[in-house]
Amino acid sequence: MQLNSKILRFESKENKYYSDNVCKALEVQVNLLRCRKMNFFESIFKHSRDIVLLINSNGNIIKANIAAAKAYGYNLQELYNMKIYSLRAPKTKDSVYQQLQEAFDIGISFETRHVRKNGEEFPVEVSAHQLMYNHEKLLLSIIRDVTKRKRTEQVFAETEIIKIIEKVASGLAHEIRNSITSVHGFLQLAAHQKMEQNQFAHHCNLMLEELDYAELVITGLILVAGDKFLDLQVRNLNQLIESMFPLLQTQAKLQGKTIELSLEDTQAIYLDAKEIKLLVTQLTNNALESMSSGGKVIIRTQMIDDSPVLSIRDNGKGIPHEIRDKLGTSFFTTKDIGVGLGLAICNRIVIRHEAIMNIESNGLGTTVNVTFQSKSK
């Protein structure tokens, strides 16, 4: 029994000796991993092309890399004595401490503007999140100078603007030049007295129509710009449509198509007469252009839930799915010649009247519904 006790005591010492060695070995391995991890972090920190800052909860810069010194124009010692607040452009400083708190809490990514030692501002992308560094909770902030990218985006945007201007100029030249050419020819004939009195009166009406069309195009551009005064008066939608019908019907007949009216009693509401006429004209022209010869457009009004609704339906082929999301985008057009402002103008008129427009389309045709607010609303 005593022998066994000695053996047990001996084994216990051996086990303790073995356990101590294992613990020490594990501790060595952990410290080695920590050192490797720290060396790896320091290597990335030092050689990163992006600006890397370590910031404490008070916003003080604890550590910065060489890229930071080059970007801001300070030496590393100067950066260590600064707050992140000092590197922000004046107009962005109000949000610094809120973003600092969010970064510590959940991590954050955002764009802002920083400022160099010489006062020059530059755009940056910031990604910041909390980490433990030397047993202290710090904020790792990785900052990328995006000046070159922003310049590229600006050049691209300017190129797109030039393309749009070219498209608009080309479209306007086509739309208005025809009217100007007609009026110019008429005036030449009149000046040389090569026109009889009855012909003169007839052609005067034609020229007035051409000038009205040119005015319509220009009015559309002004509407898109949003600078036109809205002349709202209580008017009856049906009366406005009926006053336009002869001209719309003439245009349809010239194309071998028909227009049918289906006007129910509607409540008088606040409308700008010129804009509503332009809206109906644009939607009807779109409907006519979507159909081949023999097609029919139905212009309908009705009351739905105490609100007047204007509907214009055609029996064309419908709108292709791939372009439906682009409908109403300024300067977008599927026509070889045109400004691409038709539906953009319609959208603008609808918004100015606080109405709602929706488009339903399938292989049997397209219906555009415009729901106006009732007078009481």
Residue 335, pLDDT > 60, answer no
**Whether residue 243 is found in the same domain as residue 339:** yes
Rounded to an integer, the average pLDDT of 229-246 is 88
Burial of 255 (0-12, 13-18, 19+ CB in 10 A): middle
Do the domain assignments include residue 274? yes
- Verify that 245 and 221 share a domain, yes or no: no
pLDDT at 27: 55
How far is 148 from 185, CA to CA, in rounded Å? 54
pLDDT of residue 336 exceeding 80, the answer is: no
The answer to whether residue 260 scores a pLDDT higher than 80 is yes
CB 84 within 8 A of CB 66: no
First and final CA of the chain: distance in angstroms?
104
- Residue 250 sits in the same domain as residue 305: yes
The pLDDT, as a whole number, for residue 9 is 45
Q: Which of 110, 145, 180 is the last residue of a domain?
A: 145
Give the pLDDT of residue 337.
45
**Judgement on whether residues 218 and 263 belong to the same structural domain of the protein:** no
Q: Are 61 and 53 in contact (CB under 8 A)?
A: yes
Q: Is residue 168 assigned to a domain? A: yes
Residues 221 and 237 in one domain: no
Q: What is the CATH number of the domain that holds 196?
A: 1.10.287.130
Residue 8 located in a structural domain? no
Q: What is the DSSP string of 2-19?
A: HHHHHHHHHHHHHHHHHH
**Does residue 238 sit in the same domain as residue 367?**
yes
Confirm whether 359 is domain-assigned. yes
Average pLDDT score, the chain: 78
Quote the pLDDT of residue 134: 77
Output the domain CATH number for residue 60: 3.30.450.20
Picking from 225, 244, 272, the residue at the C-terminal end of a domain is 225
pTM of the predicted model as reported, rounded to 2 decimal places: 0.47
Q: What's the confidence (pLDDT) of residue 339?
A: 47
> Within its chain, how far is the Cα of 47 from the centroid?
38
Q: What is the mean pLDDT of residues 15-38?
A: 51
Per residue in 123-168, pLDDT (tens digit) is 999 999 988 877 788 898 999 999 999 888 888 877 776 665 666 6
Instruction: Answer for the pair 286, 343: CB distance below 8 angstroms, yes or no.
Output: yes
Whichever domain contains 354, its CATH number is: 3.30.565.10
Instruction: Give the pLDDT confidence score for residue 71 in this predicted structure.
Output: 92
Of the pLDDT bands very low, low, confident and very high (cuts 50, 70, 90), residue 99 is very high
**What number of CA atoms fall less than 13 Å from residue 209's CA on the CB side?**
10
Q: Is the pLDDT of residue 1 over 60?
A: no
> According to the model, what pLDDT value does residue 246 have?
85
Among 342, 350, 216, 210, smallest CA distance to 289 is for 342
Residues 6+ apart with CB under 8 A from 366: 287, 290, 313, 314, 316, 318, 319, 359, 360
Specify if 38 maps to a domain.
no
The length of the chain, given as a count of residues: 377
In a domain? residue 2: no
Indicate whether 164 and 139 sit together in one domain. no
Same-domain pairing of 187 and 248: no
Q: How many domains does the chain have?
A: 3
Domain hosting 118: range is 48-145
| Residue 308 falls inside a structural domain | yes
The residue assigned the tokens 């020059």 is 120
Reply yes or no on whether the pLDDT at 205 is more than 90. Answer: no
Q: What percent of the chain has pLDDT over 70?
A: 69
| 237 pLDDT tier (thresholds 50, 70, 90) | very high
pLDDT of residue 17: 46
Instruction: Give yes or no: residues 237 and 332 share one domain.
Output: yes
Residue 18 within any structural domain of the chain: no
Query: Could you tell me if 96 and 88 are in contact, meaning their C-beta atoms sit under 8 angstroms apart?
Result: yes
Reply yes or no on whether the pLDDT at 5 is more than 70: no
